[in-house]
Amino acid sequence: MAGSRCAPKNVTPSDNDAGQGDHDKGGREVRSGLRLAVLFGGRSCEHEVSVTSARSMLAAMNRDRYDIKLVGIDKAGRWLVSPDPAKFIAQSEVAGSDLTPVQISQSPATDDASGASPQTLDVDVIFPLLHGPFGEDGTVQGLLELSGIPYVGSGVLGSAVGMDKDMAKRVLDAARIPQVPWRMIRRIDWRRDPDAILDGLADEFAGTIFVKPANLGSSVGVSRAVTREERRAAIDEAAQFDLKIIVETEATGCKEIECAVLGNDTPQASTVGEIIPASEFYDYNDKYVDGRSRTEIPASLDENIIARVRELAVEVFQAVGALGLARVDFFVGETEQEIYVNEINTMPGFTPISMYPKLWEASGLPYAELVDRLIELAIERHSERSDLKTSL
């Protein structure tokens, strides 16, 4: 049973002991002096969220255990470092005239507008704290695999499947994990014959629907729609951000529940929390601009429902091939308490309001120790993969 892998409250999760140095509160040795690169920013609409995540994580982590190199990726895709790290991370986005380009050793050399030669990034482990395309979708993970440097989070496959809601939903359907009815629309088909698609949606979805880009997070491009014209506008909006659009029925009468997962081969689930949106749904403004939504940890649910949510969170994590960390989002019926998986996020936010660190804090694993554990998991996985044969 997946539930046997769930971590009860106030028990620090562990796969295997790793590293040498100080001991954390769970009794594990934590290797000190690691050269850690934190990647933030990136080429997606979630650039600013990533910067906020990095700022929050750096403020909370055990900074004296690591030799930290801040590497910002600007909106053009350049990897940059700054002579003033404090100023660098304090900005809302990666930008500035005093930045120096860097590259990891196996990355191809690129021309830089400033004419400066890129420095080589020489580190022991990388934390790609990137959200959305070109960061959370397997692209950066593939580059890091080629570099041979351990990195936090899922690999190429888990990242790609988790990012693409269409593929993730297909995988979960195959694993018989419950989801609300959904459909994928290709942007090319929408632009070719929108009325035919709207006619098909009218037959398939009688009530309210949600429309989403298949490969974005943070509720970017997400709309709630009822009428035909609202549906047209919602699909047009989502089509600005992706080549595939997800349409799914509204989970009426449901609570929005989230669960955090941590681990590699033996993942463990946190306690669960509830998002209480201030608007019709938990959109980008509600998350990062207005800040009016509330969270309740632990969620007010029957103990059996909580246990099942945690089991399902681990099942989803393993079904998509996730590693290290993920947040799994659910809809839970308030009356009959049916459970539907909404989505998995393989690099959840680490902002001051983000649920992932909050859920582990409530489960007995403080923010700083959570970051330590994620770095340990990255090194453990890299060590396991290094043991594989690469020649006959």
**pLDDT one-digit tens code per residue, 32-54:** 689 999 999 999 888 999 999 99
In eight-state DSSP terms, residue 35 is E
Task: Collect all residues with Cβ–Cβ distance below 8 Å to 103 and sequence separation of at least 6.
Answer: 79, 109, 110, 118, 119, 120, 121
Distance CA 90, CA 54 (A): 10
Q: What 3 state SS string does 336-377 have?
A: CCCEEEEEEECCCCCCCCCHHHHHHHHCCCCHHHHHHHHHHH
Domain 33-151, CATH: 3.40.50.20
Distance CA 370, CA 365 (A): 6
Confidence grade of residue 219 (pLDDT, cut at 50, 70, 90): confident
Q: In this predicted model, what pLDDT tens digit does every residue of 78-110 receive, in sequence order?
A: 999 998 888 899 999 999 888 999 887 544 444
How many whole angstroms from its chain centre is CA 341? Answer: 15
Distance CA 343, CA 164 (A): 10
- The listed CATH number (3.40.50.1010, 3.30.1490.20, 3.40.50.720, 3.90.1150.200) that belongs to domain 182-249: 3.30.1490.20
> pTM for the complete prediction?
0.84
Give the fold, CATH level 3, of 162-178+252-382.
D-amino Acid Aminotransferase; Chain A, domain 1 (3.30.470)
Q: Where are the domains of the chain?
A: 33-151, 162-178+252-382, 182-249
277, 219 contact by CB (below 8 A): no
The pLDDT, as a whole number, for residue 118 is: 66
Bigger pLDDT: 335 vs 134: 134
Q: In this predicted model, what pLDDT tens digit does every residue of 298-309 receive, in sequence order?
A: 999 999 999 999
Give CA separation, 155 vs 98, 139, 201, 323, in Å. Answer: 33, 10, 35, 7
In eight-state DSSP terms, residue 100 is E
What average pLDDT does this structure show over 197-225?
90
Q: In this predicted model, what pLDDT tens digit does every residue of 346-364 receive, in sequence order?
A: 999 998 889 999 999 999 9
Is residue 52 helix, strand or coil? helix
Residue (of 220, 227, 186, 190) closest to 205 by Cα position: 227
Distance CA 12, CA 24 (A): 10
253, 214 contact by CB (below 8 A): no
Computed from CA positions of residues 58, 15, 258, 221, in that sequence, does the dihedral angle turn out positive or negative? positive
Tally the C-alpha atoms within 13 A of residue 62's C-alpha that lie toward its C-beta. 20
The pLDDT, as a whole number, for residue 140 is: 95
Per-residue burial over 302-311, b = 16 or more CB atoms within 10 Å of its CB, e = otherwise: eeebbebbbb
Confidence grade of residue 5 (pLDDT, cut at 50, 70, 90): very low
268, 314 contact by CB (below 8 A): yes
What average pLDDT does this structure show over 196-221?
90
Written as six digits, the tokens of 345 are 């996020």
Is residue 33 helix, strand or coil? coil
Distance CA 168, CA 172 (A): 6
In eight-state DSSP terms, residue 333 is E
Q: In this predicted model, what pLDDT tens digit does every residue of 257-306 receive, in sequence order?
A: 999 999 999 999 999 999 987 656 545 455 444 556 789 999 999 999 99
Number of H helices, E strands in the chain: 12, 17
Give CA separation, 319 vs 7, 45, 97, 314, 322, in Å. Answer: 19, 27, 44, 8, 8
Give CA separation, 197 vs 2, 192, 248, 338, in Å. Answer: 39, 10, 14, 30
Q: In this predicted model, what pLDDT tens digit does every residue of 8-20 receive, in sequence order?
A: 333 344 443 333 3
